[in-house]
């Protein structure tokens, strides 16, 4: 008899990056890489499990920007071209390495992978949202929402209308895409502040996730720590992250992804190959970039890239199976231990960025596949569940007030508010103030109605936590700065034009085409609460 639960939660999110005004923008490839390396491989795992009669359960957030991009015809066309290039390069590599057995084997591995991605992509008419929804309709996958543009909610709490817009626009968008209201929400960056649950309850949401200390430091102190959800006074459930199982997977230092057999992320054909040979497959301006074809393994800690040995998918897959066994074994012991203390079934909630599986950790989808199979066939200590199913079966929990928290560095808000990015917040606050002011207006005509809705889109896009995050990490900083400034500039121009009653229709049309997220938006979501 099972004595506990394991709930895997994957957070699938990318910022809204779409540039119809340019023929090529490198940052659009974030999406293309994630489709080829994470989203399609995950769907292939789900399909294989269903085919083999395994009634798997997993929770996944799909953020509104990601859903919008996956369904966008322009980005679908561009992914198609991106994939064609990869297929062509892999075939060229097979020929190029005819005299080197190991490299040829790896090139054939990539060619087969790209071919599978192509088949899957075309089988679902390029609509991966539809593919994920199929697994939701069989109750294997529970899809939850997020903030409309992944805005960092604790840093906008002085403007409740702005927080409400992030939540309500996300819920409306979810319903438009999945044909039902969302039950749960992944708070952007798992960032919670006291009182937020009131808005979540008003939006009809039943549960959210926070980091473990968001529950552990709750008042009164929860009896079961983060190993049982709590209910807020408004009836919204809170699930806390389990640090032990999380760290085993995401940490490249002490976790599985750092194993010597796994693929080395930072050594890519785009940087290694002869320049004239690789030139057709890198940036149009001639700058090198990652291609996704990587021939080397991690090999060992502390080695330079020049000391890496050739990768072998066979042994990497074996290692993924070994790690899945270890993870399942650890969860069995953890559940037994906790059950002995709690005298009730614990739930271990293990949330991760979805893009870790496949993109950053190439073997991640294999690991998940083995974990589901081993959990289904080889043990009876825990049941794998998704969060909605768990709540249905366990409707009685302790009532507490969670604590302010996030899953970022040191557990609170400093990663998104520090000396690298603090400059953005006075500007974001001013835009929120002005948008709330616009929310009380009634449009004089159709043109003004469009301008008000576009103003709401621009504020939401400027608020994306990804821009502050990128500024802090120090990679692609000019892009994050440019995006923050351009959305704010567009917003203020729209604000001035609406206030003056003179909307530039030609310019508005161009901006609507570039920032076309949330076609169903209604700017009145910003009306004072």
Query: If you ran DSSP here, which 8-state letter would residue 260 be given?
Result: T
CA–centroid distance for 153 within its chain:
17
Cα atoms in the 13 Å half-sphere on the side-chain side of 510: 8
Q: Which ranges of 124-187 does DSSP label H, i.e. alpha helix? A: 128-137, 160-178
Task: Return the ∠ at Cα 180 (arms to 200 and 518), rounded to 5°.
Answer: 75
CA distance 421 to 481: 9
3-state secondary structure of 231: strand
CA distance 69 to 74: 9
Q: Between β-strands 207-210 and 184-186, what pairing exists: parallel, antiparallel or unpaired?
A: parallel
DSSP string covering 35-49, please? IIIIIHHHHHHHHHH
Which among 324, 281, 320, 276 is positioned nearest to 110, based on CA atoms? 281
CA distance 310 to 290: 18
CA distance 241 to 59: 13
Write down how long the chain is: 529
Which residues are catalytic, by number? 189, 353
3-state secondary structure of 383: strand
* Residue 432 host element (H or E): helix 424-439
Q: What are phi and psi of 285, to 5 degrees?
A: -80, 5
CA distances from 445 to 138, 177, 403, 441, 518 (A): 45, 29, 46, 12, 21
Query: If you ran DSSP here, which 8-state letter would residue 416 be given?
Result: T
CB 169 within 8 A of CB 470: no
Which residues, listed in sequence order, are joined to residue 239 by a DSSP beta bridge? Answer: 209
3-state secondary structure of 151: strand
Cα-atom radius of gyration of the chain, to the nearest Å? 24
């Amino acid at each position: 008899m099972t004595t506990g639960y394991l709930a895997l939660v994957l957070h699938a999110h990318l910022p809204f990056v779409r540039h119809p005004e340019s023929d090529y923008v490198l940052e659009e490839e974030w999406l293309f890489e994630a489709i080829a390396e994470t989203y399609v491989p995950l769907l292939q795992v789900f399909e294989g499990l269903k085919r083999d009669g395994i009634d798997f359960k997993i929770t996944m957030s799909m953020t509104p920007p990601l859903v919008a991009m996956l369904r966008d015809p322009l980005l679908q066309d561009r992914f198609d071209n991106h994939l064609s290039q990869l297929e062509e390069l892999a075939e060229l590599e097979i020929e190029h390495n005819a005299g080197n057995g190991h490299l040829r084997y790896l090139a054939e591995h990539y060619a087969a992978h790209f071919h599978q991605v192509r088949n899957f992509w075309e089988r679902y008419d390029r609509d991966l949202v539809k593919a994920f929804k199929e697994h939701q309709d069989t109750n294997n996958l529970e899809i939850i929402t997020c903030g409309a543009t992944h805005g960092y909610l604790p840093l906008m709490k002085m403007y409740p209308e702005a927080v409400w817009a992030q939540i309500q626009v996300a819920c409306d968008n979810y319903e438009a895409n999945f044909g039902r209201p969302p039950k749960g929400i992944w708070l952007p960056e798992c960032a919670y502040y006291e009182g937020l649950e009131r808005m979540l309850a008003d939006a009809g949401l039943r549960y959210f996730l926070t980091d473990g200390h968001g529950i552990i430091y709750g008042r009164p102190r929860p009896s079961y720590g983060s190993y049982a959800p709590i209910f807020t006074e408004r009836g919204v459930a809170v699930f806390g992250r389990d640090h032990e199982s999380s760290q085993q997977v995401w940490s490249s230092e002490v976790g599985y992804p750092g194993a010597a057999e796994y693929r080395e992320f930072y050594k890519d054909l785009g940087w290694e190959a002869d320049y004239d040979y690789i030139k057709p497959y890198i940036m149009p301006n001639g700058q090198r970039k990652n291609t996704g074809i990587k021939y080397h393994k991690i090999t060992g800690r502390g080695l330079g890239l020049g000391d890496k040995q050739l990768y072998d998918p066979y042994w990497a897959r074996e290692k993924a199976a070994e790690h899945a066994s270890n993870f399942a074994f650890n969860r069995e012991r953890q559940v037994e231990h906790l059950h002995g203390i709690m005298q009730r079934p614990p739930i271990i909630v293990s949330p991760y960025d979805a893009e870790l599986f496949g993109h950053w950790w190439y073997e991640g989808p294999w690991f998940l596949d083995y974990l589901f199979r081993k959990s289904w066939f080889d043990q009876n200590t825990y049941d794998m569940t998704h969060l909605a199913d768990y709540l249905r079966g366990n409707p009685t929990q302790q009532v507490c007030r969670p604590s302010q928290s996030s899953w970022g560095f040191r557990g609170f808000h400093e990663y998104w508010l520090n000396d690298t990015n603090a400059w953005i917040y006075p500007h974001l606050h001013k835009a929120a103030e002005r948008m709330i002011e616009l929310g009380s207006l009634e449009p004089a005509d159709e043109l003004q109605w469009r301008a008000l809705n576009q103003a709401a889109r621009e504020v939401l896009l400027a608020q994306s936590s990804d821009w502050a995050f990128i500024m802090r990490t120090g990679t692609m900083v000019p892009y994050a700065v440019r995006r923050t400034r351009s959305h704010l500039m567009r917003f203020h121009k729209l604000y001035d034009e609406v206030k003056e009653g003179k909307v530039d229709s030609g310019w508005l049309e161009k901006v609507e085409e570039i920032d076309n997220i949330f076609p169903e938006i209604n700017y009145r979501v910003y009306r004072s609460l």
